[in-house]
Amino acid sequence: MKIGKEYVLAIIGGLFLLTYVLQSGIDPLTIKPSSPYVFLNQTFFNTYPFTAAIIFIRALGLFLSPLWVFSFFESAHLAKGGSLLVIAGLMQLYALQQTATASKMVTLEWSFSLAAAGLALLLPTALLLLQGMLHSAHEKIAAAPNPFTPDDDDDDD
């Protein structure tokens, strides 16, 4: 079963809208996290279960967004993988900067969502890079002449 790209866009928009509505019902986090991955701790889930749900729903939207954009491009697996690696790295660095400097540019929930989405994007990054390398190797092997076929100009008749 294949879902149309317009439906995927609607799902992504719905995820962001859902987190916006859910976020409006609670106060922003006021904790001082030691790292952007503090939300992965079980005590965080027990203390802030609603906020944890918001973080993961938003992270799912952030995870799906670049994959949806890249779905418009047919091949170029290495370029997609490299781009996802850069995007994932920037998400991690931004989340780290937000927690290290206690900056108020975005809420902690957004920083935690960026960190989770950046971690999740590493899996499709690895898969796309591997697929690109295998595709490139396959093209080189297919383009090489077959040493086991006889040449046409070596006739000794």
Residue ranges covered by each domain of the chain: 5-141
Tokens, residue 98: 């937000």
Per-residue pLDDT of the chain (157 residues; tens, 9 = 90+): 788 889 999 999 999 999 999 988 888 888 888 888 888 888 888 888 888 899 999 999 999 999 999 988 888 888 889 999 999 999 999 999 988 887 778 888 899 999 999 999 999 999 989 988 887 776 777 776 777 777 665 555 5
* N residues, the chain: 157
DSSP assignment of 33-57, as one string? -SSTTGGGSHHHHHH-HHHHHHHHH
